Structure 1
Amino acid sequence: MSVAALLLLAAVPVQAVPLGEDAAACVAGTVPAIQVSILGLKDRTGRLKLELYPANEGDFLKDDRDLVREGKVFRRVWAQTPAGGGSVQMCIRAPAPGRYALLLTHDRDNRNKFNFWRDGAGFPSNTKLGRSRPKLAQAVIAVGGGVTGTSIRVQYLRGLGGFSPIPN
């Protein structure tokens, strides 16, 4: 990280600094990036993960190795879930302005594999996920030339109805 980026991070209030290896991109605001406000965490365990996919049905949630091998967009950013209360922000760079699909997961058990029974997930649309595979329309976000802000409310398995947000 450059000295200028570190100085910018130091000037931002503690809770406003986004997490993840792409944090400097959101602080500087000079490259296409997405800053996500993460809402509704069940607890402060494990890790948070943002993944950026092409915004088309064929590539949405496709295996990252296949996307990379095919020269398609894929980016992943991890961050430890902060122990303290308050807002949680994460940042992920985009390769260029355009439309992408964005996925957030809360890997509560640190196993790097989605645990249907334990982990949470969310998309920019914040519509209820239910029991079926997420639809591309739930995940699409338009990214501009600077930082695009969005909020994602994490959803967890809640009985027979499938995934939904935890009530406030």
Structure 2
Amino acid sequence: MTRGSTLPAHRLSPLSGRLAIPAQSRTSPAPPLGGFNTAPADEAHRLLLACLRSLRWARRIADHRPYPTLDALLAASDEAAYDLSPGDLAEALAAESLPGLPEDAYGAAHMALDAAHAAYEARFGHAFVICLDGVPADEAPDRVLEGIRSRLTNDPEDERVIAAEELRRLARQRLTGSIRAAGL
């Protein structure tokens, strides 16, 4: 007994065997990187050092240009930040300062923040760093003070890991802002 096909005959289109890739939506175009990619090395280093004061980090990112997209540049920034040696981390932390309070902040807030920061510096030997990306300006002072107070209880090695992560996030935020502001 022969069995007939249960499916209708199907003709292959002339495109069969080709991979169909759906078009990607472009809700917000990535900023162009042409200016950054083609800038002289010293100019690229200056821009990068304004984002994170580590010579090794800046050199590594600048030396690996060109980057096709902002996402690729940020991935390289993250990777370089993860690879910071203790000396590189100390170099970057030495150049950081506590985020400033808004002009209209009351005097007690300044005193509380200054005292907490002094205690942090005395314990860990460097400025407190925190990335406030996405935090409303009116909440920033409270977040900084809360962050210092909670991190003061950390073991120095644990705090080094947290500070390195905050520096990585800060570098990413600053780099994005610098590239967009410069129209690079």
TM-score range, shorter chain: under 0.3
User: TM-score if structure 2 supplies the norm length?
Assistant: 0.25
Higher share in strand: 1
Larger radius of gyration: 2
